[in-house]
Structure 1
Amino acid sequence: MTKLSNLVFILTALLLTYSCDSLSKEEEAFDKKMQEIIDVHDEVMPKMGEMSALIKNLESKIDTTNATRNYKQAQQNLKDGYDFMMEWMSDFSQKFPHDDKNKELSNEELNVKMKILEQEEVEVKELRDQINSSIQNAKSVLKITEEE
């Protein structure tokens, strides 16, 4: 009986060790993905001020004629990017509240959160691309005007 109880103890200890290692690897993958998303956000967040300045600059070029259509479109693209950022940040903070940062998650909960995080990664990259392209387009439209 002693050998059997020792064997059960060793198997239980191994199983617990394996389970903890598995969860630890999943937590590491989750943390890595979270950091990648935060890095993309941190890359584009400083551009919000530039976007606001470009919106105002374009506003000064817009009149009621059809000739300013490019300015209007460039300005709308900037506004859409700005709104996308605000909506994404609000949505992200609801899905991943700061209070949950230190909360212990089960393996199943972590897998569910990881799938949501993977969707957020796609969305934040779309956000980055939209912001960068709207800034580039606005600068291009304004540069054409400045050269004339």
Structure 2
Amino acid sequence: MRVSAISIAFIFSVVFVTCKEEKKVPTKTTQMKEVMAVHDELMPKMGKIGRLVGELNKIEDSTETGQVYKEAKIELQEANKAMMDWMKELGDHFDYEEIMKGKELTEQKQEWLNEEEEKVKVLKEKINGSIERAEKLLENNK
């Protein structure tokens, strides 16, 4: 029994398509939506950061305790700056259509998106952590 070249090609095609379909990786559009969902979760916290910085400014002084408040204030300011820098970098790498409309990404932009996804996770921890620490300090000051 001879197997023709067409039969072999067909078998390889079926195997290739089957293997390809088994990969369940998020689509680029889904990945961008996830990144933007974290952004949308963090943006309202920028106002809270500003409020906390103002409160810490009022009680910071040159004493040892006052320096703890100053450090918390600086941490909040750094978290705010990190958010602004991250948003600028995202805007430098991607256009509106790619961010909001799911426009197809080049291979380079997909690599950037993978990096931005990791960066926004770190950013989320930085923002939430700095807010939590500042709120605890302020609560203990009451």
TM range (shorter): 0.7 to 0.9
Residue identity opposite 1:93 in structure 2: G
Q: Highest relative contact order (Cα 8 Å, sep 6+), 1 or 2?
A: 1
Q: Which residue of 2 aligns with 1:124?
A: 120
Within 5 A, what are the aligned runs for 1:98-137? 98=96, 110-137=106-133
1:1-148 map, 5 Å: 29-98=27-96, 110-146=106-142
Moved >2 Å (runs of 4+): 64-67, 99-105, 109-112
Distance in 1 (CA, whole Å) between partners of 2:98 and 2:35 is 17
What number of residue pairs does the alignment pair up?
A: 123
The alignment yields a C-alpha RMSD, in angstroms, of 2.7
Percent identical: 32
Higher helix residue share:
1
TM-score (norm 2): 0.76
TM-score by length of 1: 0.73
In structure 1, stretches of 5+ residues that fail to align are: 1-17
